[in-house]
Amino acid sequence: MSDSTVSIVVNNAPVRLKAPLRLTELLKHMACDDQSVAVAVNLDFVPRSRWANHFLQPGDQVEIVAPMQGG
Amino acid sequence: MTDSWRLADTQVSSRLMIGSALYPSPEVMQSAIEASGAEVVTVSLRRQTAGQNTDSSYWSWLKQLPVHWLPNTAGCYGVREAVTTAQMAREVFGTHWLKLEVIGDEQTLQPDPFGLVEAADILIRDGFEVFPYMTDDLVLAQRLVDVGCRILMPWASPIGSGQGIRHPQNIMLLRERFPQVQLIVDAGLGRPSDATEAMEFGCDGVLLNSAIALSPDPTRMAGAFEQAVSAGRLGYRAGIMPQRQWASASTPTIGTPFWHQVP
């Protein structure tokens, strides 16, 4: 990995993006509607209010979830 | 006769709560939910993939309904993932209500009682109203109440099995021992009469999904369950006669033609 990129795993798929990488930038890259998704990094919930200041680290496991039907 | 009830911190009228999964189309789902009269509907979270429209067709229909959301932690096998899923659900759905599922066995989808109590304790301290999906075990119920659960949701039988209430005595015992708890039978109901049975035991409500969604006519079945729940509740409130071992004639025998005393 070069110094200018960061490799992470998003919803179980590898993603490599330019570093430094904030959560807000990842969500923009993923074309997510910010108001309809929630995020966890390495199994810890990250509230929406902290996305702009949360810098992703190499190897981070990111979960991005959205609403769906359920039982 | 009005029969509204207090669920957590909210006044609701319907005692039937239903899931939003497994319907053949969003249109059928919406029609069935409306026919059920349910005011509480369970929802869930899925992984979001790049470029995917967040507004999935089912959710875009669901979010128009005037109901209370009950997000679940379906598919969680550990305490940490259940807690994190709960926190994500609170942000997405804007509710502190949570159907807490911590699964302990893949074949039966039986809840893990130890993980369930641990997760419930953490989430209640974090401000959640936990609706624990549990087995019908008396001691587990006590442990959940001890950590602050005001609602208990024992299964009738395994999720999606449609077997009805396999151990009626256990449900009756929970009702007897926890009169102040909101007792909701969740999972395993198949027939409308299963819901009636639960309500006749004095349960406060029932929660089901497959029994309606997997019917060939979900909308009609939703109406059947709505009436079944009402009938069971009404019967419970009226009071059910005690069983007798033998017959007891209901028609008065005085003045019966040709009647004679049996020696």
Structural domains counted in chain B: 1
Residue A30, token pair as written in the block:
């993923």
pLDDT at A63 over 80: yes
Least CB–CB distance from A66: residue in B20, B46, B210: B46
Contact: A71, B20; criterion CB under 8 Å: yes
pLDDT at B6: 93
Answer whether residue B31 is part of any domain.
yes
Contact A71 B159 (CB under 8 A): yes
Phi and psi at residue B262, in whole multiples of 5°? -75, 125
A31 part of contact set with chain B, CB < 8 Å: yes
- Residue B20 phi, psi (nearest 5): -110, 10
Percent of chain B's residues with pLDDT above 90: 87
Segment B123-150, tens digit of pLDDT: 999 999 999 999 999 999 999 999 999 9
Would strands B151-154 and B182-186 be described as parallel, antiparallel, or unpaired?
parallel
Question: Is the residue at B258 inside a domain?
Answer: no
Is the residue at B181 inside a domain? yes
For chain A, give every domain's residue range.
Answer: 5-65
**What pTM did the predictor assign?**
0.92
The answer to whether position B216 is within a domain reads yes
Q: Is residue B262 part of a domain?
A: no
Across the interface, whether the CB atoms of A67 and B22 are under 8 A apart is answered: no
Nearest CA of chain A to the CA of B126: how many Å?
Answer: 13
d(CA B40, CA B30): 13
> CA distances (Å), A2 to each of A7, A57, B98, B138, B175, in order?
10, 13, 43, 58, 63
pLDDT of B1 > 60? The answer is no
Q: Does the structural domain A5-65 have CATH classification 3.10.20.30?
A: yes
Q: Work out the burial of residue B139: count CB atoms within 10 Å of its CB; fewer than 13 is exposed, 13-18 middle, 19 or more buried.
A: exposed
* Record: contact B50-A65, CB cut-off 8 A: no
- The residues pairing with A31 across neighbouring beta strands, listed in sequence order, are none
In a domain, B255, yes or no: no
Per-residue confidence (pLDDT) for residue B54, from 0 to 100 = 56
CA angle B11/B16/B17 to nearest 5° reads: 85
Q: B260 by DSSP, 3-state: which?
A: coil
Please report whether residue B139 resides in a domain: yes
Residue tagged active-site, from B37, B67, B85, B99 = B99
Decide if B63 is catalytic.
no
What proportion of chain B, given as a percentage, has pLDDT over 70? 96
> In this model, does residue B235 exceed pLDDT 90?
yes
Does the residue B163 lie in any domain?
yes
pLDDT at position B114 over 80: yes
Residue pointed to by tokens 């009402």 = B230
Is residue B233 within 8 A of residue B204, CB to CB? The reply is no
Q: Domain of B205?
A: 5-48+55-238
Whether residue A4 lies within 8 A of chain B, CB to CB, comes out as no
The CA distances from residue B135 to B74, B75, B86, B138, B153, in Å, are: 15, 16, 20, 9, 8
Minimal Cα–Cα distance from B112 to chain A, Å? Answer: 18
Q: Domain with B211 in it: what CATH number?
A: 3.20.20.70
What confidence category does residue B173 fall into, taking pLDDT thresholds of 50, 70 and 90? very high
Query: Is the pLDDT confidence value at B76 over 70?
Result: yes
